[in-house]
Chains A and B, each alone.
Chain A
């Protein structure tokens, strides 16, 4: 058990440090760029807004948030304090809403869309990859090129293709939004149904994007494991093929969990595009509106939130992996 404690202690320390670094990067990157960020934003605001009092309020709020006249360290402390109170300032493009408010209304859409979709895609991809590695001829010849093709389509392209085929041509599902545009969120069945219907296309787009890469990874992993010495040994002791396949899949699947953890950042990024294409009311669309509206506070907060989400997902996966793979335990006690 001591071994496990060490493992988790290490992971937790790493998590906390990474979180801090993510904070610092989020704070420091824009300030490292040439030019005065506040000046740039004021210039952008002037084009985007006609409401003079709004501009003024945002300007004041913004100067306070950035506090460019204060020393860097003080700016950082103010920033951290604000963020800890959930205060990301006002949104420029959606003034007078606060950034926290905008994010609160979109984050759950993203969470509810992306995490199930990535997990389903991961499971399907791994199953297909394993099958392809095991059956090889025939199945493999069909599946491998398809997987390679799918994994090479950028996320937005996959989303557009689904949109055009199932949304525009076949009209099986609506093409945009998180629920019917004529509805107000409530608890009726009608609303729930509308949410489910609108969920389909973005969900399957993310699933498909995830499948391709995972299937290819799992396939090479499983081929590697199929050639492992323990497979040969088990065979020559007469162990049934079905059992051996189970060994192989389990062993190939375990590193795939780490693989998922390592690519969760990229995947979340890709999934954001699926949201954008389907105008899903999640963080992806929020980023798009923020960029178009020159809404700096919103971009900064959204990227920070997405980073934290990926970080948490990564952390949870690592913990999970440590629990189920005995190799980790053994490595720790050495």
Chain B
């Protein structure tokens, strides 16, 4: 078994709203990412996947708060560390991040190179500007970006260019793990492809050692990652490899998610199109039983009575439902 770069056990984080209510957007989430592998996290918007992305870095500020669990980065438990040490040694250095809204991710009144200087010097204060410039232009060129971009303000860059600049900046320190939060969702199709190719290149070129890719388009992950986790209402509802989750989903939600795609990716054309009726539960007051119960086709009275644990069925495969997997599979087959 290869080295585990990121291990998360029972991580729980919560938002505190203006009215002092707690919203547990990440609820007892556990995951493991090994060297050389990539993990996809899928779910509808509002399911907590973006919050999970932020929570995984172990660095919290209002309104997001740490509530329980642990994060182990390359063997080092960072949950007990002082926030400033996390900032200095982990963020950008060990784990890095590509935000959802790359359009506004760069300070509009700062040249790209100056931001890179700030990033590098936050971790390695002794680095000179000259060294940083050399490093940055080398890295930009390696990723197919012109070093001229470094001298520009972000407002002078086009949308796709901004996103690629952000990606290159995020990995400037060659972090072990990269968390990409819907890096392509706001872009046009061409730029989307380019961005996804770039992220995959990062792995191939060995700039990053492991990837966590978050998206609401489950099929997108087919081309990008090795494993998939499906999230619903702050909890993981299914885990497995890409092939398992996409072609053989167990949880009714994963199944429905596969069906809710409007434009299926190549190779998935025989999947039927169905929308998932209903809305996710209010996380301020999550239901006591299964959180998917209200929208589930196979709902039974017991579903609302007892909370369901993630059922481990071996080899990293797991799902959260009280119905046995065989019965679920049978039901799917009957539906056609």
Residue ranges of A at the interface with B (Cβ–Cβ < 8 Å): 228-230, 232-240, 243, 247, 250-251, 254, 325-327, 329-331, 333
Contact = CB atoms under 8 A, between A and B. Distances in A.
A208 B54 CA distance: 43
B298 interface: no
Contacts of B169: 237
Contacts of A247: 107, 109-110
Interface string B90-108: 1111001101010111111
Contacts of A232: 99
What 7 A-B pairs have minimum CB-CB distances, sorted nearest first? Answer: A238-B91, A330-B155, A237-B92, A229-B104, A238-B92, A326-B153, A233-B105
B59 A234 contact: no
Given A235-B61, A238-B87, A247-B107, A326 B155 contact: yes
Contacts of A243: 118, 122
Contacts of A325: 109
Interface in B49-101: 54, 57, 59, 61, 87-88, 90-93, 96-97, 99, 101
A237 B97 contact: yes
A231 to B, nearest CB: 8
A284 B100 CA distance: 54
B115 interface: yes
A229 B87 contact: no
B112 to A, nearest CB: 12
Interface residues of B, number: 33
Contacts of A237: 91-92, 96-97, 119, 122, 169-170
Contacts of B88: 238
A240 B99 contact: no
Interface in B100-137: 101, 103-110, 115, 118-119, 122-123
Contacts of B115: 234, 239
A331 B99 CA distance: 24
Given A235-B59, A236-B97, A237-B169, A230 B91 contact: no
A236 B57 contact: yes
Contact of B153 (A228, A234, A330): A330
A167 to B, nearest CB: 44
A240 B54 CA distance: 17
Given A233-B166, A243-B118, A238 B107 contact: no
A239 B115 CA distance: 9
A230 B57 contact: no
B156 interface: yes
B92 A230 contact: no
Contact of A238 (B61, B103, B123, B153): B123
Given A326-B109, A330-B156, 17 more contacts: A229-B101, A229-B104, A233-B166, A235-B59, A236-B91, A236-B99, A237-B122, A237-B170, A238-B88, A238-B90, A239-B119, A247-B107, A250-B109, A326-B153, A326-B156, A327-B108, A333-B156
A233 B99 contact: yes
25 contacts: A229-B99, A229-B103, A230-B105, A230-B107, A230-B108, A233-B166, A234-B107, A235-B61, A235-B87, A235-B91, A236-B96, A237-B96, A237-B97, A237-B169, A237-B170, A238-B87, A238-B91, A238-B92, A239-B118, A239-B122, A240-B122, A247-B110, A251-B108, A327-B153, A333-B156
Contacts of A230: 104-108
A327 B155 contact: yes
Nearest to B94: A238
A236 B83 CA distance: 12
B154 to A, nearest CB: 8
Nearest to B105: A233
Contacts of A329: 153, 156
A326 B107 CA distance: 11
Interface string B135-154: 00000000000000000010
B105 A251 contact: no
